[in-house]
Amino acid sequence: MKIGIASDHGGYELKEIIHPFLTSLGHDVVDFGPDHLDNADDYPDYVIPMAKAVAAGTVERGIAICGSGVGACIAANKVHGARAALIGDHFSAHQGVEDDNMNIICLGGRITGYAVAEELVDVFLKAQFTGLERHNRRIAKVKELDK
Protein backbone atom coordinates (compact mmCIF):
# COMPACT_ATOMS: atom_id res chain seq x y z
CA MET A 1 0.00 0.00 0.00
CA LYS A 2 1.20 3.53 -0.74
CA ILE A 3 1.12 5.53 2.49
CA GLY A 4 1.63 9.26 3.06
CA ILE A 5 3.16 10.42 6.33
CA ALA A 6 3.59 13.94 7.69
CA SER A 7 4.37 15.62 10.97
CA ASP A 8 5.66 18.76 12.57
CA HIS A 9 8.36 19.13 15.22
CA GLY A 10 6.06 17.67 17.88
CA GLY A 11 5.56 14.51 15.84
CA TYR A 12 8.92 14.34 14.09
CA GLU A 13 10.48 11.72 16.38
CA LEU A 14 7.47 9.40 16.10
CA LYS A 15 7.34 9.91 12.30
CA GLU A 16 10.98 8.85 12.09
CA ILE A 17 10.06 5.61 13.91
CA ILE A 18 6.83 4.91 12.00
CA HIS A 19 8.37 5.46 8.54
CA PRO A 20 10.86 2.53 8.72
CA PHE A 21 8.20 0.42 10.47
CA LEU A 22 5.95 0.91 7.43
CA THR A 23 8.68 0.01 4.98
CA SER A 24 9.48 -3.11 7.02
CA LEU A 25 5.86 -4.17 6.45
CA GLY A 26 6.31 -3.74 2.70
CA HIS A 27 4.51 -0.43 2.29
CA ASP A 28 5.63 2.29 -0.11
CA VAL A 29 5.98 5.44 2.03
CA VAL A 30 5.79 9.00 0.77
CA ASP A 31 7.22 11.31 3.43
CA PHE A 32 5.70 14.79 3.18
CA GLY A 33 8.07 16.13 5.81
CA PRO A 34 9.65 17.59 7.58
CA ASP A 35 13.03 16.13 6.67
CA HIS A 36 14.71 17.47 9.81
CA LEU A 37 13.70 18.66 13.27
CA ASP A 38 12.77 22.34 13.28
CA ASN A 39 11.02 23.56 16.42
CA ALA A 40 9.62 26.53 14.51
CA ASP A 41 7.77 24.56 11.81
CA ASP A 42 3.99 24.38 11.45
CA TYR A 43 1.94 21.18 10.99
CA PRO A 44 -0.31 22.59 8.22
CA ASP A 45 2.73 22.96 5.93
CA TYR A 46 3.19 19.17 5.91
CA VAL A 47 -0.19 17.71 6.85
CA ILE A 48 -2.26 19.58 4.27
CA PRO A 49 -0.21 18.41 1.25
CA MET A 50 -0.37 14.85 2.61
CA ALA A 51 -4.15 15.07 3.11
CA LYS A 52 -4.53 16.44 -0.43
CA ALA A 53 -2.57 13.45 -1.74
CA VAL A 54 -4.87 11.07 0.15
CA ALA A 55 -7.98 12.84 -1.15
CA ALA A 56 -6.61 12.75 -4.71
CA GLY A 57 -5.72 9.07 -4.47
CA THR A 58 -2.00 9.71 -4.98
CA VAL A 59 -1.49 7.80 -1.74
CA GLU A 60 -4.02 5.30 -0.39
CA ARG A 61 -3.94 6.31 3.28
CA GLY A 62 -2.24 8.88 5.44
CA ILE A 63 -0.62 9.26 8.83
CA ALA A 64 -0.49 12.72 10.40
CA ILE A 65 1.47 13.36 13.60
CA CYS A 66 1.85 16.49 15.68
CA GLY A 67 2.44 16.94 19.40
CA SER A 68 -1.08 16.04 20.50
CA GLY A 69 -2.49 14.95 17.15
CA VAL A 70 -5.29 17.49 17.47
CA GLY A 71 -3.92 20.20 15.18
CA ALA A 72 -2.92 17.68 12.53
CA CYS A 73 -6.43 16.21 12.65
CA ILE A 74 -8.12 19.59 12.33
CA ALA A 75 -5.89 20.57 9.40
CA ALA A 76 -6.37 17.26 7.57
CA ASN A 77 -10.13 17.45 7.89
CA LYS A 78 -10.17 20.84 6.13
CA VAL A 79 -9.19 19.03 2.92
CA HIS A 80 -12.18 17.90 0.85
CA GLY A 81 -12.10 14.10 0.68
CA ALA A 82 -9.92 13.63 3.74
CA ARG A 83 -11.50 11.74 6.63
CA ALA A 84 -9.08 12.01 9.54
CA ALA A 85 -9.44 11.03 13.18
CA LEU A 86 -7.24 11.30 16.23
CA ILE A 87 -6.76 7.70 17.33
CA GLY A 88 -5.51 6.42 20.66
CA ASP A 89 -7.04 2.96 20.92
CA HIS A 90 -7.10 -0.30 18.99
CA PHE A 91 -10.87 -0.41 18.41
CA SER A 92 -11.10 3.07 16.89
CA ALA A 93 -8.08 2.40 14.66
CA HIS A 94 -10.00 -0.26 12.73
CA GLN A 95 -13.60 0.79 13.36
CA GLY A 96 -12.91 4.25 11.93
CA VAL A 97 -12.00 2.63 8.63
CA GLU A 98 -14.64 -0.13 8.69
CA ASP A 99 -17.61 2.11 9.49
CA ASP A 100 -16.56 5.65 8.58
CA ASN A 101 -14.09 5.05 5.73
CA MET A 102 -11.39 6.97 7.62
CA ASN A 103 -8.38 7.47 5.37
CA ILE A 104 -6.01 9.38 7.67
CA ILE A 105 -4.96 8.37 11.15
CA CYS A 106 -3.74 11.16 13.42
CA LEU A 107 -1.40 10.48 16.32
CA GLY A 108 0.06 12.54 19.13
CA GLY A 109 3.83 12.35 19.01
CA ARG A 110 4.10 13.56 22.60
CA ILE A 111 1.41 11.28 23.99
CA THR A 112 1.48 8.04 21.98
CA GLY A 113 4.17 5.49 22.81
CA TYR A 114 6.14 4.00 19.94
CA ALA A 115 4.90 0.43 20.32
CA VAL A 116 1.30 1.59 20.66
CA ALA A 117 1.67 3.85 17.61
CA GLU A 118 3.00 0.95 15.54
CA GLU A 119 0.07 -1.24 16.60
CA LEU A 120 -2.49 1.48 15.84
CA VAL A 121 -1.00 2.16 12.41
CA ASP A 122 -0.86 -1.54 11.58
CA VAL A 123 -4.51 -2.06 12.57
CA PHE A 124 -5.55 1.07 10.64
CA LEU A 125 -3.81 -0.11 7.47
CA LYS A 126 -5.22 -3.64 7.65
CA ALA A 127 -8.82 -2.44 8.12
CA GLN A 128 -11.19 -2.22 5.16
CA PHE A 129 -14.35 -0.17 4.73
CA THR A 130 -17.39 -2.46 4.96
CA GLY A 131 -19.47 -0.43 2.50
CA LEU A 132 -22.67 -1.30 4.35
CA GLU A 133 -25.69 0.77 3.39
CA ARG A 134 -26.02 2.36 6.82
CA HIS A 135 -22.38 3.49 6.75
CA ASN A 136 -22.69 4.86 3.21
CA ARG A 137 -25.86 6.71 4.24
CA ARG A 138 -24.11 8.35 7.20
CA ILE A 139 -21.03 9.27 5.17
CA ALA A 140 -23.26 10.81 2.49
CA LYS A 141 -24.88 13.04 5.13
CA VAL A 142 -21.47 14.26 6.24
CA LYS A 143 -20.37 14.84 2.63
CA GLU A 144 -23.37 17.14 2.17
CA LEU A 145 -21.56 19.62 4.42
CA ASP A 146 -18.85 20.01 1.78
CA LYS A 147 -21.32 21.48 -0.71
- Counting Cα atoms < 13 Å in the Cβ hemisphere of 111 gives 13
Residue 35: Cβ within 10 Å count: 9
Residue 66 among the catalytic residues: yes
Q: Which of 66, 73, 87, 120 is catalytic?
A: 66
- What whole-number distance in Å separates Cα of residue 110 and Cα of residue 95? 24
Residue ranges of E strands in the chain? 2-7, 28-31, 61-66, 84-86, 104-108
Please identify every residue annotated as catalytic. Answer: 66
